[in-house]
Amino acid sequence: MSNEYQLNLFEQLNQGLPASSPSFPPELIPTDAKIPIPPGTYGTIEELADHCHQCQRCGLGSTRTRAVVGRGNSQAAIMAIGEAPGQNEDETGLPFVGKAGQLLDKILASVRLDPEQDIYICNINKCRPPQNRVPTPEEIAACKPYLLEQIRLVEPKIILLIGATAVRGLLGDRRGITKIRGQWLEWQGYLCMPIFHPAYLLRNPSREKGSPKWLMWQDIKAVRAKFDEIGW
């Protein structure tokens, strides 16, 4: 199927449809990453997940075991966005379930945020890059329409950007995470908070004042305070 024909079908199937309408058949997912997935394509997270599991918009589709879409409450006030799945996530189909994910859950629980009720957790990329390398700009761009649809569907009040790749992938901000962590940033009406990736904390276990773990504690307390202020 040519890209032109595929795009024509794609446009026809989306013309005049409200955001909650069923989308197009999975076999018509644009395989060329240059062909966008328009806002409002998916009516539910489940529809989006069905397409992610069959997606071949970049080369990661041919090397993954499973697409990793999200976990937690799809109507949560807080959305946490990481980088990409690792081996544990690729095997289970769930994000942040390895050691870093277990630490993330503990960090959230430390300020009485329930990872299953108060948070929706996902990644910039839905497929594992080989050897857990950082996703390329092309891979991020190919997968970004899915992320934007997730944000639209969840409608969070707060977005946690976990690590530099998440910041760069969503905001386009290339500053190092140590420079912008803990700062409230605004993106398209959403409050965003960059925080350290838990994998970084595992490599830096010190709890002394000024250490990454200590700084994370300050950041997650600020997130809890904002959550309470919003009054969700």
Q: Which one, of 29, 42, 92, 37, lies nearest residue 66 by Cα?
A: 92
Tokens of 93: 């189909």
Is the pLDDT at 227 greater than 50? The verdict is: yes
Give the separation between CA 175 and CA 168, rounded to whole angstroms.
8
Give the separation between CA 119 and CA 140, rounded to whole angstroms.
23
**pLDDT tens, residue by residue, 45-73:** 999 999 999 999 999 999 999 999 999 99
Mean pLDDT, residues 207-226 taken together: 97
How much is the pLDDT for 46?
96
How much is the pLDDT for 223?
98
Classify domain 69-230 at the CATH topology level.
Uracil-DNA Glycosylase, subunit E (3.40.470)
Asked if 103 and 187 count as a contact pair (C-beta separation under 8 A), the reply is no
Strand segments (E) across the chain: 71-72, 78-82, 119-123, 158-162, 185-187, 190-195
**pLDDT tens, residue by residue, 155-211:** 999 999 999 999 999 999 999 999 999 999 999 999 999 999 999 999 999 999 999
pTM of the predicted model as reported, rounded to 2 decimal places: 0.87
Q: Taking the CB of residue 133, how many other CB atoms lie within 10 A of it? A: 10
- What does the domain layout of the chain look like in residue ranges? 69-230
